[in-house]
Structures are given as C-alpha cells and as structure tokens.
Chains A and B, each alone.
Chain A
C-alpha cells in the first residue's frame, strides 16, 4: 500500500498535503504518528464523563491535526463535532460523535494497513 492509496482509503486529500508540506517523507512521518496521539482517547473519555469543555478541546485538536494532514473526511466530522460542543453540548453532538468515531476508525485502519505494508 502506498501512502497515496492510504490517503484514498481514509477519504483524505494526498495532493493537498504534499503541496503544503512539500515532502513525502514528512507527510509519512506525521501520518504514522497520528494514531499515537492521545486526543481521540481524551475525546471519548470526556464525552462519556460529560466534560463538554474538555471534549471541545480534544475534538478541536483532532480537527487541527486533520487539517494539517489533509484528512478531509475525519477533519470534516471533527469540525462539525467541535462546533456542536463549542458553546456547551447541543443535541446533535452525540450523533456527530458517532460519526467521528466511525471516521477515526477508518482513518486509523488505513494507517495500520499502510504501516503493515512498510514491513
């Protein structure tokens, strides 16, 4: 699996990220780092605990990383969740969180597959 195929698998924009970061090596480095970031765990925990402020920040951080890496799909859902949490939790938040969970899984799965193919 190439990095480009990995991007395609998770619904992300490879051309855009390469245009910005200008180095495949860099893109790969950060993509491989993504699953290790603790923000997603934090998001899940704070959603469970109803800590809305913390959930907002975690979601916001995920959105930022996705923007930097051009993870379009997860970026979009985490953006929507962020907005649904910005001024306290709206009724839509739970549904959006489910979407983020699905997109996150898809993203991380694609990265795992890519990593496996690197050997």
Chain B
C-alpha cells in the first residue's frame, strides 16, 4: 500500500491474508502508519532495511515462505526484538504455541477473531510500554551526568573553602584550572612525549583545583601574614604539599580512581622545580609528573598576576617575563615555549568567559557519546556488521590493509595481510617491533612517517613505493594511504589507514620493457639513442676521464647478404655483436648504430692503441666460412673535447679516412682529417629507413 511520510509511529503488519491486513489497517490506520508484508521473508527484509523505524510489528503465525516463529527467530538472532516489540496474531490457540511465542520474546498475543477495541488497546499499551522503557534508559543516563556534574561541584566547593581561608580571590582555582587546561592543550600540540589524551587533559585540569587543599592544615596567621615569612614559618608553609598529598592518600575510598591519583601528584609536587630545587622531594626534570609541572606553572603565573595580602598584582607581560627569566624557579623548557608562544592568548583566555563554554562543550560531548552508546546497541551491531563486511572483502583481495594510530601506537593489519607478512594482526609499539624492523628498514619507516605527517587535512592522501623484505628477499611495494587528522585547531596527526600492494612483478616487467625499448632486438646491444644517453651521463659523471669512441662497419657485408642470404647476414651481425661485447668491459658501452654499423665507447687510463688493436682483431676472423673484416675509426676525447657529438663526428671522419686507405683497418682521428667527408651518411640513411 502507499505509505505517507509522517512522523507517526509505524506498525509493520505481517499476514499472508490480504483481508486480514486490511482489517488491521482499518482499525489502526487512523492513528499509525501501516506498512504491510505478506509473508515472513518480506517482513525480515523490511526490518533489515527500515530497522528501528518500525515501532511495532503485528505478526501472524501461519504464512508461506517463512512463518511467524521463523521471523521471531531471525529477530532474536539480530537482536531486533530488543528494539521492536512484536504482537503475535493468530487463530492458533494451542497453549504450546502461545508459550513458544512468549519464549521468543513477543510482547503480547492477540487471538483472532479481532476485536477492534482490543487490538487498538494492545497496540497502544505496547507502544507506551516501550516508550517508557526508552525514557527510563535516558533518565538513568541523566542521573549519571548529574552525578558527574555534582562531583565537579563538590571539588569546586572544597577548593573554594581553602581559598577562603587563604584570603585569596575566588578566582585563583578557576584561573589555575583554565590555565592548566590551556597549557596542556598547547603541550599536546607541541609534543607526543607525554602521551596526553583528551581525558588526561580534563582529569588533570579538574585535579588542579585541589592543588592547595593541604593549606587547610596551615595556621591561619601564617597563611594570611601580610609581610615576609620567617624561615620557620616558611618551613611550616611548605608542609602543605605533603599534607594535601597525605589527605588524598588516606582517603578511605576511591584510592584507585584516576582523578584521586592525579590530584595526589599535583598536591605533592606542584612546588617542585625542573632543576630539582623545589620542595618537598626535590624531584628533577620529568621525574616530576607532567600534571604537577603544568599546575606549578599555572599556579605561579596566577599568584604573580593576582593581588595577595603580601603583594600587589603584577602585570601580565611582566609576570610572563619573570617566569621566562627563571625568577620563580626553573620550569620544563617545553612548557616555557608554550608560555612564550601563547602569552597573549593566555591573557584573553583568562579574561574572557571561555571557561564555562569549554566545560559546557565537554559535557555536551560526553552526553552525546554516552547517549549514543546506550540508546541503541543496534548501532554497535550495525558497526559489527560493517566490520564483518569489511573483513570479508579484505579477505578477498591480495592487498595488505592497515590502520595505524599514533596513540596508542598500534598497527592493525587485515587478516590475510598479517599472514602474508608473517606478522600479528595487531602490532603494539610498531616502531620498536623486531619483526616489523626485519621487514622495513629504518629509513623506509622514517620516510613513510614523514610523508604521512607531511599531508594536510585537506589533502591527506599519499602514495609511495618502497622495499619490503618478504622472507628476507626485498620486494617492491606500493602504499596508498590516508592520514587521519583530528578536528582540533591546529589539527593533530592521529594516524593513518590504507593499503599496501606488492608491485614487485609489475615493476620488474616495466624494467624489462624499458630495457627492450633501449636495445636493439636482434643483437641485444643498445640502440644509438640510448647509447648516446649513457655516454653523456658517463661524461657528466666523470668529466676528467680519458674516453675513446670507435665507429666501425663490416666490410663486404652487402655482398655477403646478397650471396649467402639475409638470415646468414643476421647471424654475422649477431656474431660481431657477441665478439664486441666479449672484448670490452662491463662498464664500457657498445651499441649497434644501425645496419652493419657499430659503436663502442671506452674509458681508458693508458695505451688505448693496444686496446683498440686487441678489440679490432677479436672482431675479425672466420664465421662459418665467411671472413669477417671491419673498418674502424676512433676518436679520443683529448682531440675532440668532452662532447659526444664531437667525438662521434670525429670517429666518423676517421672511419671515412680508413676506408679511403683500404678496408680492414682501424685509424685514429687526427687534425688532418678535419673537413673530410662523412661515412655517417650511410648510417643515417640506414637508421632512417628502420
């Protein structure tokens, strides 16, 4: 039937008889939206799609395709029955049937024939009952928040009592708290050193309110003495740190509460200094918990800028300078940086009413979070379902999928990814994981990390290729990854996710193709263009070296081709190429310049003539009855200058000159050959024809 879009509650009527559905529709359609399903299977598919939208299900028992009990079983399996009440409708009156239906979680049972009043009444009751249950859940939640809020309130009252005795302005605690939170957030952005999470920040700021509770035990005359304290009085004053700590330590309850532990650190050590010259324990550096370090700084700043019985308030700028100059003791340099960089912001932060706003925002966040976690376990199950789906698809691909979080430092791998790499699916502290280190070099790890941190929230993707030692053999892999940035301002790098693909075979294939493109297919030597490239690279690398470039062609090759056939000619070319590559070193460069023309390029130290002579004689000689003979021109870099073109040109002229003197010889270029004709024209026309 057609379904109107309204905010009315929705009832899913499941019955195979159209008439029965339409009777129910008539009875309920005025007050509710009715969705119809004509068998169990259809009902299940509607539940799958519409889920919690359905406020109530009216369910027949005997139906084709899937009966009412089967529908209930599916609803139990998927926990839908917890969110969507079911009223069973049937002509069945056997008590075992009824019992079974109740066991499967139906809320009510309506016997056929329907009585319009009864149907309506039961539907209303059931809906009300469920609404009440949902309301109860949210009431419990509200009470939890209320409790949280009150405990915050108690802390405020308690710390205010202390202040009252101190004769301090009621704002000190608030300022210290605000400043503590502010400094912690700056510190979070600056460094990962202290592993500060959002909840750490809020716990330390809350705990900061208790930093001076020990002062309750200090004599009022000392606390509020307008002038300078005597040594003896100061000694008593100093005890407040230890006294406060002991008060918390001796709490009969809540010893394991993280807030109590944090407050203990703060009470005891908020007068310690980074250089070890504070009290009561004389702790040094990061032996002082970061909570106490931050509160100490906040306390000092506010003490300086607030009026006290023994002193007038000091200007913000002056106070900051005094702290930075170490006039109030030495603090953590990182905290000093935070203070120096954000001094202006601190003043506005304390002056403005941002405190309340911040707290309110947090409460809202907590409320949202817990609301979502308890309103519907269904959501979690949907997530489970998504995860399952993801795992399934992950298992079908060859890719290694991963997620990485900075805090806690952890890598999660897809199941088959982990198997492939021989790692666990979850790797804690990956930077120091031995097995991971065996796979990735330190440089690779750093490079990956740099690349990910180098992304921005707007463009968080990156991809790069790197070597992974799979079973000890390095193979090329490509990573395609997306960095995760927090919504903070400035955004924080929180980790990354992505996939890693083994591209080794593809890469090898590409290398092969590159080689094919750069070489002559028949002889396997380089072609002229790529030889030129390598020669120029070599010259650029070592411009001081001695180089020789030789050009030669085969004598009487054309007639051999004509007489003995092209196939034989090809064999001759291959043989010459082979002899050529055997007679030079691996670092030398040889190439087929075109047709029967070859080129070689040598780096030498002494006596190049002897080398050329040896090569020349290796090239010549019998091949299956054909006398191979070559004519060669050679140019040396000292005669031509460091230029491939010049050397090639000179060698070409020498070759021409050699031919003029009769074939089967080699000749070095000299000044006398300048301006001679070129043997090159043949090569060029030949090359052009290919």
Chain A interface residues toward B at CB < 8 A: 16-17, 19-22, 26, 29-30, 33-34, 37, 39, 54, 56-57, 60-61, 63-65, 67-70
Q: How far is the CB of A70 from chain B (nearest CB, A)?
A: 6
**Chain B residues, Cβ within 8 Å of A68:** 19-20, 23, 112-114
Contact call A57/B22, Cβ cutoff below 8 A: no
Of all chain B residues, which has the CB nearest A59?
Answer: B62
Contact call A33/B113, Cβ cutoff below 8 A: no
User: Which one of B22, B62, B63, B115 lies within 8 Å of A30 (CB-CB)?
Assistant: B22
A22-B117, A67-B112 as given contacts; A39 in contact with B17, CB under 8 Å: yes
Contacts A26-B23, A37-B18, A64-B20 known; list 6 others, CB within 8 Å: A16-B113, A26-B26, A29-B26, A30-B19, A30-B22, A67-B91
Can you name 6 A-B pairs with beta carbons within 8 Å?
A16-B113, A20-B113, A22-B117, A60-B62, A61-B17, A64-B112
Contact call B62/A57, Cβ cutoff below 8 A: yes
Contact call A37/B16, Cβ cutoff below 8 A: no
In the complex, whether B318 has a CB less than 8 A from a CB of chain A is no
Contact call B19/A37, Cβ cutoff below 8 A: yes
State the 6 A-B residue pairs at the shortest beta-carbon distance, nearest first. Answer: A67-B113, A20-B115, A67-B112, A68-B113, A60-B62, A64-B91
Of all chain B residues, which has the CB nearest A20?
Answer: B115
**Chain A residues, Cβ within 8 Å of B20:** 64-65, 68
**A65–B26 CA distance with the chains assembled, in angstroms:** 15
Contact call A20/B114, Cβ cutoff below 8 A: yes
In the complex, whether B116 has a CB less than 8 A from a CB of chain A is yes
User: Which one of A30, A57, A64, A65 lies within 8 Å of B64 (CB-CB)?
Assistant: A57
A26-B26, A30-B23, A33-B22 as given contacts; A61 in contact with B113, CB under 8 Å: no
Q: Is the interface of A mostly helix, strand, loop or mixed?
A: helix
Q: How far is the CB of B77 from chain A (nearest CB, A)?
A: 24
Q: How far is the CB of B144 from chain A (nearest CB, A)?
A: 47
Chain B interface residues toward A at CB < 8 A: 16-20, 22-23, 26, 60, 62-64, 90-91, 112-117
Q: How far is the CB of B171 from chain A (nearest CB, A)?
A: 71
Q: How far is the CB of A3 from chain B (nearest CB, A)?
A: 16
**A39–B15 CA distance with the chains assembled, in angstroms:** 13
**Chain A residues, Cβ within 8 Å of B19:** 30, 33-34, 37, 65, 68
Contact call A65/B17, Cβ cutoff below 8 A: yes
User: Which one of A22, A29, A56, A64 lies within 8 Å of B17 (CB-CB)?
Assistant: A64
**Chain B residues, Cβ within 8 Å of A22:** 116-117
A30-B22, A33-B22 as given contacts; A70 in contact with B17, CB under 8 Å: no
**Chain A residues, Cβ within 8 Å of B60:** 64
**Chain B residues, Cβ within 8 Å of A19:** 115
**A68–B22 CA distance with the chains assembled, in angstroms:** 11
**Chain A residues, Cβ within 8 Å of B62:** 56-57, 60-61
**Chain A residues, Cβ within 8 Å of B63:** 57
Contact call A61/B116, Cβ cutoff below 8 A: no
**Chain B residues, Cβ within 8 Å of A69:** 113
Q: How far is the CB of A54 from chain B (nearest CB, A)?
A: 8
Of all chain A residues, which has the CB nearest B15?
Answer: A64
**A44–B90 CA distance with the chains assembled, in angstroms:** 23
Of all chain A residues, which has the CB nearest B113?
Answer: A67
Of all chain B residues, which has the CB nearest A78?
Answer: B91
**A17–B114 CA distance with the chains assembled, in angstroms:** 9
* Residue of A29, A56, A61 ringed by the most chain B CB atoms within 10 A: A61
Of all chain A residues, which has the CB nearest B67?
Answer: A57
Q: How far is the CB of A19 from chain B (nearest CB, A)?
A: 8
Contact call A21/B16, Cβ cutoff below 8 A: no
Of all chain B residues, which has the CB nearest A61?
Answer: B17
Of all chain B residues, which has the CB nearest A64?
Answer: B91
**Chain A residues, Cβ within 8 Å of B16:** 57, 61
Of all chain B residues, which has the CB nearest A38?
Answer: B18
